[in-house]
Amino acid sequence: MKCLIPNPLFVQNLSKAMSQDGASQFQEVIRQELELSVKKELEKILTTAPSHEFEHTKKDLDGFRKLFHRFLQEKGPSVDWGKIQRPPEDSIQPYEKIKARGLPDNISSVLNKLVVVKLNGGLGTSMGCKGPKSLIGVRNENTFLDLTVQQIEHLNKTYNTDVPLVLMNSFNTDEDTKKILQKYNHCRVKIYTFNQSRYPRINKESLLPVAKDVSYSGENTEAWYPPGHGDIYASFYNSGLLDTLIGEGKEYIFVSNIDNLGATVDLYILNHLMNPPNGKPCEFVMEVTNKTRADVKGGTLTQYEGKLRLVEIAQVPKAHVDEFKSVSKFKIFNTNNLWISLAAVKRLQEQNAIDMEIIVNPKTLDGGLNVIQLETAVGAAIKSFENSLGINVPRSRFLPVKTTSDLLLVMSNLYSLNAGSLTMSEKREFPTVPLVKLGSSFTKVQDYLRRFESIPDMLELDHLTVSGDVTFGKNVSLKGTVIIIANHGDRIDIPPGAVLENKIVSGNLRILDH
């Protein structure tokens, strides 16, 4: 806070607090002064907003102020580890039990009360692509967005329903997404969009906004950020779309990340929500799935002060991180596939009663400036809803594409594509997904595609590790455990038609039995 220039009133309050020897009073004075400084900076920024953007910008900055106020109030890890308990047996239901209830005859009328919401705020930069991640081709030239539209169109045609698609864009993805939406004009899916908020990044030292005006081009490009998907509740409500959909008779939203190709509409879960077995309406369902060693950092559902609560690794005190990662104690993690009551979102938003822990995300801007951005996660709100439930779903409902290693899996013959949905091939003997680790030469989609003349046959693969300058010819088959490592300066070209089964291929092109 050394960049703050204290005003005379501040100095007077400070000396008063110090004379009373109250460390907490001293901190309170600092906090109030900081809030006042931030308020003034935000007011200055608001004056630069053009008239047509004024109301929208004001809502964003008001939202940020509330978040910043909470950030200053909170101290240390946000959970008391001693209070964390395993959830009661009946609070996380096995999917098989939900499915066993079957489907009613009126499934069409149940579907007509559903809205599909995809979180579409992310860019493809981590995979070396410009623009929205949802526009990256993932299968047979189809993008994430294409597959989503195909899935919902198939539902609407099969059941003669009107399930709309809502995209939550960010200021980073909105323009490019809207351009592409024209191509779906003739599809049987109504598509709506709304934007998540735009919050100012704050200087790590002074805790003041980096932005000087509302623009987000030129010098200001890095001054703003979308504040995590927990922002969905406020921005959906503020957009007016929430009220519109309630007015059309919609009751639930199914929310998921657009890059999770396993997150399709599940009729059994929807029926469980619409026709609860105990007659008590469930306002929030979180799909969880069993942890593997690869998922130890995923958020987990716990019982905390009598409510279901999502605990993320960032909230865990350092001394308990290993315990949190334990697959034996916390067996499940959050897939971020969520089913939420629209009426409950409206009620809680109007009562200002949605409580989500703050995630403090440190970043370094291109110029070297250290900043922090305050974020929230959509699943963290579970504790604010009534009669919440976890459903332990099959792993197939969690198929995220975060890297080109994930992309290789979904492009391969491990999966078949039908009406926008990917399902594991019946020819694979084991239902588990192989572990694939592609090295840094494959990080960018463009480089990855250049290194495969065709996607290898992976039906019998268990584990693939590739490192260094490696290319694959056509019709290569990979089985068992395959490790290919090209040393620095070497290049390995796997020849067309090669069958590698339990092999280690090293830098000098020797092929060894594994």
**Which structural domains are found in the chain, ordered by start?**
81-397 (3.90.550.10), 404-506 (2.160.10.10)
Task: List own/partner pairs for 149-153 with CB under 8 A and 24 or more apart.
Answer: 149/184, 149/187, 149/189, 149/191, 149/420, 150/419, 150/420, 151/264, 151/265, 151/419, 151/420, 151/421, 152/116, 152/189, 152/265, 152/420, 153/187, 153/188, 153/189, 153/420
- The gap between the terminal CA atoms of the chain, to the nearest Å, is 57
Q: How much is the pLDDT for 296?
A: 73
pLDDT score of 75: 65
Question: How is 273-333 classified by DSSP, letter by letter?
Answer: HHS-TTSPPPSEEEEEEE--GGGTTS-EEEEETTEEEEE-GGGS-GGGHHHHH-TTTS-EE
The Cα–Cα gap between 385 and 424 comes to 34
Tens of pLDDT, residues 185-197: 999 999 999 999 9
Mean pLDDT of the chain, nearest integer:
90
The answer, yes or no, to whether residue 152 has pLDDT greater than 60, is yes
* Block residue for tokens 């950020």: 225
Q: Is 97 among the residues known to form the active site? A: no
- The least confident of 7-11, 63-67, 126-130 is 7-11
Q: Is the pLDDT of residue 510 over 70?
A: no
Q: What is the pTM of this model?
A: 0.91
CA atoms 440, 446, 452, 455: torsion sign: positive
Q: Which two tokens stand for residue 471?
A: 């290319």
Calculated CA dihedral for residues 327, 328, 330, 333, nearest 10 degrees: 40
Strands 499-505 and 415-418: unpaired
Binding residues for UTP: 133, 196, 228, 259, 402
- Considering only CA atoms, give the Rg of the chain: 25
CA–CA separation, 281 vs 387, rounded Å?
Answer: 7
Q: Answer with the residue of higher pLDDT: 21 or 491.
A: 491
pLDDT score of 82 more than 90? no
- Pick the catalytic residue from 99, 212, 331, 402: 402
- State the pLDDT at residue 509: 58
Q: Is the pLDDT of residue 11 over 50?
A: no
Structure token digits, residue 177: 């997404």
Residue of 73 and 194 predicted with greater confidence: 194
Residue 128 has pLDDT above 60, yes or no: yes
Strands 499-505 and 477-485: parallel
